Structure 1
Amino acid sequence: MSGKSSWPELVGVMATAAATQIGHDRPDVAVEVLPPGAPLTPDYNDHRVRVFINLSAVVIQTPVIG
Structure 2
Amino acid sequence: MSEQYEYVPHRLLRKRVRDIASGTEGELMAVINENVSGTAIEHWTELAYIRGASGREFTTVVSNVEPA
Q: Whose strand fraction is larger, Structure 1's or Structure 2's?
A: 2
For normalisation by structure 1, the TM-score amounts to: 0.24
Is the radius of gyration larger for structure 1 or structure 2? Answer: 2
For normalisation by structure 2, the TM-score amounts to: 0.24
